[in-house]
Amino acid sequence: MTLRVEGESDVVREFVHEARRAGKKVGVVMTMGALHEGHLSLVEVANRDCDATVVSVFVNPTQFGPHEDFEKYPRQLEADLRALSSSSVDVVFAPTVDQMYGDGHSTSVCAPSISEPWEGRCRPGHFDGVATVVLKLLQIVPADVAYFGNKDYQQVQVIRAMVRDLHVGTRIVGCPILRDPDGLAKSSRNAYMTDDERAQALALSQGLSAAAELFKMGERGSAALAARIRQQLAGAGITKIDYIAVVDSDTLVEKPNAGADSIALIASYVGETRLIDNCRLGDGPIVAP
C-alpha cells in the first residue's frame, strides 16, 4: 500500500473519484496532526470498514480564537507519516494554509444551531471554522464515510447536522474515545502538561466515572450528577471550569433527569491547558473512581 503525501486538492479528489468508480468504499479521517493512538484508532476503523483510506493533516487556523493555541499547536508531519506508515493509509492529504485558504477566500459555513451551547459559547466562531474546513475537506475528499472521535462529542453532532442540512453525501461515523490506561483521554494537547498537571488531569475521567457510578446506583438528577463531577475536579484543585453538564445525547440540551443515553460533558483548564472529555452515563465508569 503506497502512502502518498499530497497538498494538491485536485490530485486527491481524482484519487477518491477513481477509487469510487472502481467500486471501492473510501473512508476519510480528518486530523490536525500530532497523531496519537486516538487518531490511529479512527484510522483502524476506517481501514476495517473501507477499501481505501485518506487521512488529512491540517491545523485549521479558522477554528482557533485569537487568544488560543494556533501558533504553538504541535506540528510534526514527519513523525505523523511514520505513525501512519504501519497502517494501510492510501493517501495523506497535508495541505498548507494557502492551499486551503487561498487569496480572496471569503466563503464560510455558519455552523448549525447545535453548535451554540457548551464549546460554541466558550469558543465563539470555533464551530464555524470547523464546519467550514470539514465541508472544504469533504469537497476535496468526497469519501463514502468520514470517521470522527466522540472525544469531541459536540463536534461530531455539529458535523452530522451540517452534512444533513447541506445534503453532503458522506456518512458520518462517531468512534469511541481512546484513553491512556489510567483514564486520561488521549489528546494532542496532553503534551502541553507537566507531570503534575497530567496527574491533576486524571480528575476529569475520574469525575466522569464517579458520575457514571452514581447513575448506576440509581441517581437520575442531572444537577446531582454534575455536582459529583465538580466535586472530583475541586478535590484535584481544578477550579477553572468552562462547563460541566449532563445533556441529551442527540440535542445536547440539559434535562432535569438523566437517562442511559445522557452524556456528561466537561471542559476545564489544568494549568494553561484546556481539556475536554465526556462519557455516556449508561456505559458505566471509565476507571475506578
Name which position in 28, 39, 262, 264 contacts ligand AMP (CB under 6 A).
39
Q: What are phi and psi of 221, to 5 degrees?
A: -70, 120
Q: What are phi and psi of 185, to 5 degrees?
A: -65, 135
Strands 171-175 and 145-149 turn out to be parallel
Task: Tell me which DSSP letter residue 146 carries.
Answer: E
Segment contacting ligand AMP by CB under 6 A, of 74-82, 179-187, 234-242, 266-274 = 179-187
Please tell me whether residue 126 binds ligand AMP under the rule CB under 6 A: no
**Annotation says 36 is catalytic:** no
> Buried b / exposed e across 104-123, counting CB within 10 Å, b at 16+?
eeeebbebbebbebbbbeeb
Round to whole Å and give the CA distance between 90 and 180. 28
Shortest Cβ distance from residue 110 to ligand AMP (Å)?
A: 21
C-alpha cell at 210: 464517579
Round to whole Å and give the CA distance between 229 and 212. 10
Q: 151 to 170, contacts with ligand AMP by CB under 6 A?
A: 151-152
Q: Measured at CB, which residue is nearest to ligand AMP?
A: 149
Q: What string marks each residue from 19 to 38 as x (binds ligand AMP by CB under 6 A) or -?
A: ------------xx-----x
Shortest Cβ distance from residue 241 to ligand AMP (Å)?
A: 20
Please tell me whether residue 95 binds ligand AMP under the rule CB under 6 A: no
Segment contacting ligand AMP by CB under 6 A, of 81-89, 112-120, 132-140, 145-153 = 145-153
Name which position in 12, 40, 42, 133 contacts ligand AMP (CB under 6 A).
42
Residue (of 193, 171, 168) closest to 180 by Cα position? 193
Binding site for ligand AMP (CB under 6 A): 31-32, 38-39, 41-42, 148-149, 151-152, 175, 177-178, 185-188
